[in-house]
Structures are given as structure tokens and as C-alpha cells.
């Protein structure tokens, strides 16, 4: 009996000692703080998107097709006002970036990661590529200006036609090149050593090992990196201003896939957005036009990102 009693007593003591006694105020506070950080982020984004969407209804809601087909105009009431030229410029800039920056960037990354000896020189190069990725985009605009417009080097201006979508595309390709090299390089570094050894172990050459193991394994990572860099390129305005994207009096309105217009005067969606926003000061109607252009650009970028995600999932499934 006595032992039972003391048992009961100690049981009660244990129960009391592990009983929840205080509220964890600090923890709760911390959690609330984190939640509000998330809320602020979401709220800002929501406000931005909602205002833009509401503003854009004047154009997109009433004359969507005309707006997509129309051109730059000096008055917002002009019924031929639209972003077709901006879409043309942005579309081709994206294509040129993909054609130039992706193969060159991925190729450079393959060489750096798989072939180049690891020494101070290559380490120096890698650090510099990382630095280049942080250089302000205006500086790349200056490079494009000197290289492609003023013809200071190689007389490239004759090829690009000076201020043209081609010049803009090449400039932005140079801008994203370091990003492509870095993200691809990281994807290559993530390939497990076991796969490499396995391939070498059955008599694969270095090239065969890279083609059959490294590239397929790294494909999802490369894809994510390259398409993010593409989204960046399509959203840039500053370098395009320097290579002479214009905001009015564009000559013809080429069809979206008219290659001959690549060396003509050009504009692009970020430039159109900037210009119309500036012009809304004297002509309020441009607010709606700028908002509508933003929505189109967002949809463009969103489509690219969705494509990237879809492709990445497919590649990832493949690699198991």
C-alpha cells in the first residue's frame, strides 16, 4: 500500500512537472513576425497586379485585338494605338538571346567544368564571370552601343543596321551570358561522381560520358537557369535605350515573323511601357495603355516560365 501511495505521489509529481505552464510568447511573436513578412510580400504583389489589371481593362477589355495589332501613336485616343511593334521587338530579342546566349553559355560552362584544368587562371575566370553577372545592365547597353552601333570595333554596325532589334538582341544576349554560364556550371557540378565513374568504368570517353550522363542529368538545372535569364532579358529596358530602341515614329509594322525588319529601327515592350508611362503625364489615356502593355509582358514571361517548368519536370522524370 505504501509503495502504491508513493508511486501515485511521484506520478502526480511527474505529471505536474511536465505540465504546460506558460505561453511561449517569444515564439509566438517570432512566428507572427515571419507571417507578416510573407503577408507584406504578397500584399505588395497583389496591389501591383490588381492596379495594373484594373488599369489595363480600358484597353484590353474593350479593344484587345486592336491593341495587340496596333502601333505606337502620339495620342492615346488614337484607334490605331497598340503594342504590335513592341511585341515584335521583344519576341525577336528573346529568340536572339536563345540562339546566341544559350549555346555559347552552356558550351563555355561545359568547357569550364569538364575540360579546363583547375588552376588559378580558371578560378580567376570563374570569379570574373560571377562578377560580370552583377554588372549593371546599363553598362552592357554601353557595350552594345560601342560594339554594334558606333562600329568602333570590327565595324559590326554594318551587320546589325545600327539601332535595330538585332543589336538589342545581341546586347541582351551578352548581358545574360554570364548568368547562363554560372547556372549551367552549377548544374554540371551537381552531377554525381558515381555516374561519371560508372560511364568511364565501362569504357566511355570523356565526350561520351558528358553526352550520355552529364548533359541529360544537368538538363533540368540548365533549363531553369536559361529560362530565368531569358525572362530577365525580356524585361530589361536600360540597355535597349542605349542601343537606340525608340518610342515613336517607327516606320512599318512588320508581321511578327518578318525577319527582314530585324535590322530596322525597333522598340520593345519595356521601352513601350516606359514611354507610355512618361507620356501619361500629359495624356492620361496612356496610363491604361501602359498597364495593358505590362499585362502582355507579364503573360509573355509567365508563359516562358511555365514552359520551363513543364520541360524541367519532363527531364526530371526521365532522370528518375
Partner 1 sequence: MSMTDEAPRLIERPVAAGDPSAAPGTPSVATERDVVFRSEDVNVYYGSFRAVRDVTFDVRKNQIMALIGPSGCGKSTVLRCYNRMNDLIKDARVTGTITYRGTNLYDERVDPVEVRRRIGMVFQKPNPFPKSIYDNVAYGPRVAGQKKGLDEIVENSLRKAALWEEVSDRLKDSALGLSGGQQQRLCIARAIAVGPDVLLMDEPCSALDPIATAHIEDLMQEIKQDYTIMIVTHNMQQAARVSDTTAFFTADVRSENDTRTGILVEVDATQKIFSNPSDERTENYVTGRFG
Binding residues for partner 1 (CB under 8 A): 117-118, 192, 194-205, 208, 212-213, 216-217, 318-320
Which residue's CB is nearer to partner 1, number 21 or number 317? 317
CA distance 136 to 268: 19
Sign of CA dihedral 37, 229, 302, 283: positive
Q: How far is the CB of 273 from partner 1 (least distance, A)?
A: 43
Q: How far is the CB of 315 from partner 1 (least distance, A)?
A: 11
Angstrom distances, CA of residue 147 to CA of 101, 153, 243, 276: 17, 6, 10, 29
Q: How far is the CB of 310 from partner 1 (least distance, A)?
A: 19
Q: How far is the CB of 124 from partner 1 (least distance, A)?
A: 18
Which residue's CB is nearer to partner 1, number 24 or number 194? 194
Which residue's CB is nearer to partner 1, number 180 or number 209? 209
Which residue's CB is nearer to partner 1, number 118 or number 189? 118
Which residue's CB is nearer to partner 1, number 9 or number 318? 318
Which residue's CB is nearer to partner 1, number 51 or number 205? 205
Q: How far is the CB of 181 from partner 1 (least distance, A)?
A: 22
Q: How far is the CB of 202 from partner 1 (least distance, A)?
A: 3
Amino acid at each position: 500500500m505504501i509503495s502504491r501511495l508513493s508511486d501515485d505521489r511521484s506520478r502526480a509529481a511527474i505529471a505536474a512537472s511536465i505540465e504546460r505552464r506558460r505561453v511561449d510568447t517569444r515564439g509566438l511573436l517570432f512566428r507572427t513576425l515571419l507571417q507578416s513578412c510573407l503577408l507584406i510580400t504578397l500584399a505588395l504583389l497583389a496591389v501591383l497586379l490588381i492596379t495594373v489589371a484594373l488599369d489595363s481593362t480600358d484597353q484590353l477589355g474593350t479593344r484587345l485585338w486592336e491593341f495587340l495589332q496596333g502601333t505606337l501613336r502620339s495620342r492615346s485616343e488614337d484607334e490605331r494605338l497598340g503594342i504590335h511593334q513592341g511585341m515584335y521587338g521583344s519576341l525577336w530579342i528573346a529568340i536572339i538571346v536563345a540562339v546566341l546566349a544559350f549555346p555559347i553559355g552552356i558550351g563555355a560552362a561545359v568547357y569550364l567544368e569538364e575540360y579546363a584544368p583547375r588552376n588559378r587562371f580558371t578560378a580567376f575566370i570563374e570569379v570574373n564571370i560571377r562578377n560580370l553577372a552583377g554588372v549593371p545592365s546599363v553598362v552592357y547597353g554601353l557595350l552594345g552601343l560601342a560594339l554594334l552601333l558606333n562600329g568602333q570595333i570590327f565595324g559590326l554596325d554594318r551587320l546589325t543596321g545600327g539601332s535595330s532589334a538585332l543589336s538589342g538582341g545581341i546586347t541582351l544576349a551578352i548581358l545574360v551570358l554570364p548568368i547562363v554560364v554560372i547556372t549551367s556550371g552549377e548544374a554540371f557540378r551537381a552531377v554525381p561522381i558515381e555516374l561519371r565513374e560508372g560511364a568511364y568504368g565501362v569504357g566511355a570517353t570523356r565526350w561520351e560520358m558528358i553526352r550520355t550522363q552529364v548533359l541529360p542529368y544537368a538538363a533540368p538545372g540548365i533549363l531553369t537557369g536559361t529560362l530565368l535569364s531569358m525572362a530577365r532579358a525580356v524585361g530589361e529596358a536600360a540597355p535597349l535605350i542605349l542601343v537606340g530602341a525608340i518610342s515613336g515614329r517607327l516606320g512599318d509594322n512588320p508581321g511578327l515573323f518578318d525577319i527582314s525588319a530585324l535590322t530596322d529601327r525597333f522598340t520593345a515592350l519595356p521601352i513601350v511601357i516606359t514611354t507610355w508611362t512618361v507620356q501619361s503625364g500629359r495624356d492620361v489615356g496612356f496610363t491604361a495603355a501602359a498597364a495593358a502593355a505590362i499585362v502582355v509582358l507579364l503573360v509573355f514571361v509567365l508563359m516562358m516560365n511555365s514552359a520551363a517548368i513543364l520541360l524541367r519536370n519532363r527531364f526530371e522524370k526521365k532522370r528518375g
